[in-house]
Amino acid sequence: MKKYAFQSFALALLMAMACPLFGQPAASAPAGAVKQLGSIRKIDGVDLSLATDEGPELQVKIRPDTRLLRLAPGQTDLKGATLIQLTDLQVGDRVLVRGKLADDGISVSAAAVIVMKQQDIEHMKQEELLDWQKRGVGGVVKTVDAKPGKGSITLSVGGKTMEVSTTPSTTFKRYAPDSVKWEDATGARLEDMHPGDQLRAKGDKNDDGTQLVAEEIVAGTFRNIAGRVIAIDAAQNTLTVQDLATKKPVSVKITADSQMKKLPLQLAQGLAMRMKGTAPPAASSGTPAEGARPRGGDLNQLLARLPSASLGDLQKGEAVMIVSTQGSADRPPVAVTLLGGVEPILTASPTGTGAETFLTPWSLASAPAGDQ
């Protein structure tokens, strides 16, 4: 089962609630007492098979006196939790189990089970995705003013500049060097944001879209690659590109999490003209290039709505633009986003420079709500 950002929050909340619910803190808990987080894999009568977050499977026995509590999204304590029955549990539900570990070391007699229903998780996921799509922006960090409690970040968004201000309640996260999975991101501070970072922020914008007060910020150091495909290895899921900036070949790994899109020609032409500072031609009503003149951060949403592509849709010699992880000597960079159909854009910028001002890792628009 995939993990989402709000799940991490919810499970952390469950753990925080565990002590007031279960009484004694862990240090003075009875011998053999355990608390385990995981997902229900199987239900057989009063027995649950729990796929724990730590790895091993755990057998959970529900006793007649076991307390089953359903925690709804948005609840901050257990006062509003609902008592449920064993028949309300389903495979896929996320649970926190507290009980006594049996002598076999793989089963627990449950004293209490706190449940977050799978349908509640999916509903919350969709709400979070919509909120990021509606109130989120993505771009490249230009400058950082790290004043305590009221700093700001100047962001290049779609060729324009946006001022992202922070408050004492703004939360920061930073992606791991080789991952764009939300659960791999770690807590950060404003001073951990650097010029050149790819950054996404969510919050309230002013009327003209030049300023945003950030509630959440996630950033990472990513690599921008623009060039032509010189080799495709479908068996290894790799793509080799002649990088226009370095004049060297770069092999990039394509994974299930990589987002691949292809621009319609008219949209690519419009973006190319935008890079050159000229107005794109008017699109006829109802054509795919209707959004060829996106405003500010709207481009990320436009790209996200394009149909997905695959490695098989690319051809040798095709112009592509890629945002990837940094990679290392023993690990190739992994594509976060790959955009095909960019011939007009690379013609407008023969070295590939400037493209990063609008090609940000738009998959990060959904990453704060989950790895897709």
124 within domain boundaries? no
Q: Which residue has the higher pLDDT, 113 or 55?
A: 113
Which domain-ending residue is among 220, 243, 275?
A: 220
Binning pLDDT at 50, 70 and 90, where does residue 352 land?
A: low
Q: Decide if 283 contacts 273 (C-beta within 8 A).
A: no
227 and 203 in a common domain:
no
pLDDT exceeds cutoff 80 at 317: yes
Query: Averaged over 311-317, what is the pLDDT?
Result: 92
For range 89-110, the mean pLDDT:
89
Q: What is the pLDDT of residue 297?
A: 44
If asked whether residues 149 and 53 sit together in one domain, one would say no
Question: Taking the CA atoms of the chain, what radius of gyration do you get in angstroms?
Answer: 24
Please give the share of the chain, as a percent, with pLDDT higher than 70: 76
348 lies in a domain?
Answer: yes
35 & 90 share domain: yes
Whether 112 and 203 share a structural domain: no
55/168 same-domain check: no
CB 68 within 8 A of CB 88: yes
Region 320-335 average pLDDT: 85
Between residues 268 and 213, which one has the greater pLDDT? Answer: 213
Domain assignment present for 127 = no
Min mean pLDDT across 105-114, 121-130, 229-238 is at 121-130
pLDDT score for 93? 92
Q: For residue 131, tell me if it sits in a domain.
A: no
Higher pLDDT, 363 or 132: 132
Residue 296 pLDDT > 70, yes or no? Answer: no
8-14: Cβ within 8 A, 24+ apart: 8/182, 8/183, 10/71, 10/73, 10/94, 10/116, 10/121, 11/37, 11/53, 11/94, 11/96, 11/116, 13/71, 13/75, 13/76, 14/71, 14/96, 14/114, 14/116
Euclidean distance between CA atoms 342 and 59, whole angstroms: 53
User: What pLDDT sits at residue 231?
Assistant: 96
Decide which of 69, 85, 116 is a domain's last residue: 116
Q: Given a cut of 70, is residue 31 above it in pLDDT?
A: no
Q: Is 123 inside any structural domain? A: no
Residue 24: pLDDT over 70: no
Neighbouring C-beta atoms of residue 215, cutoff 10 Å: 17
For 230-244, what is the mean pLDDT?
94
The pLDDT of residue 39: 92
Count the domains in the chain. Answer: 3
Q: What pTM does this model have? A: 0.60
Q: Do 233 and 365 have their domain in common?
A: yes
Domain identity same for 89 and 173: no
Residues 45 and 71 in one domain: yes
Alpha helices in the chain (DSSP H): 5-22, 118-135, 265-275, 298-305, 343-348
Q: Look at residue 129 and tell me if it is in a domain.
A: no
| pLDDT value for 283 | 44
**177 and 288 share a domain?**
no
Q: pLDDT by residue (tens digit) across 65-90?
A: 999 999 886 676 777 788 999 999 99
CA quadruple 264, 268, 274, 280: dihedral positive or negative? negative
Looking up residue 169, the CATH number of its domain turns out to be: 2.40.50.140
Do 40 and 95 belong to one domain? yes
**Shared domain check, 208 and 244:** no
Helices (H) and strands (E) in the chain, counts: 5, 19
What is the average pLDDT value for the chain, to the nearest integer?
79
Q: Answer yes or no: is pLDDT of 165 > 80.
A: yes
pLDDT of residue 300: 60
Enclosing domain of residue 207: 136-220
- Work out the angle between the directed axes of helices 5-22 and 118-135 (0-180°, nearest 10): 130
User: Which among 220, 244, 276 is the end of a domain?
Assistant: 220
- Phi, psi angles (nearest 5°) of residue 163: -95, 115
Residue 214 · residue 170 · CB < 8 Å: yes
Indicate if the pLDDT at residue 371 is higher than 70: no
128 is a domain residue: no
**Residue 203 placed within a domain:** yes
**210 and 230 both lie in a single domain:** no
The band of 44, judged by pLDDT with boundaries at 50, 70 and 90, is: very high
CATH classification at residue 258: 2.40.50
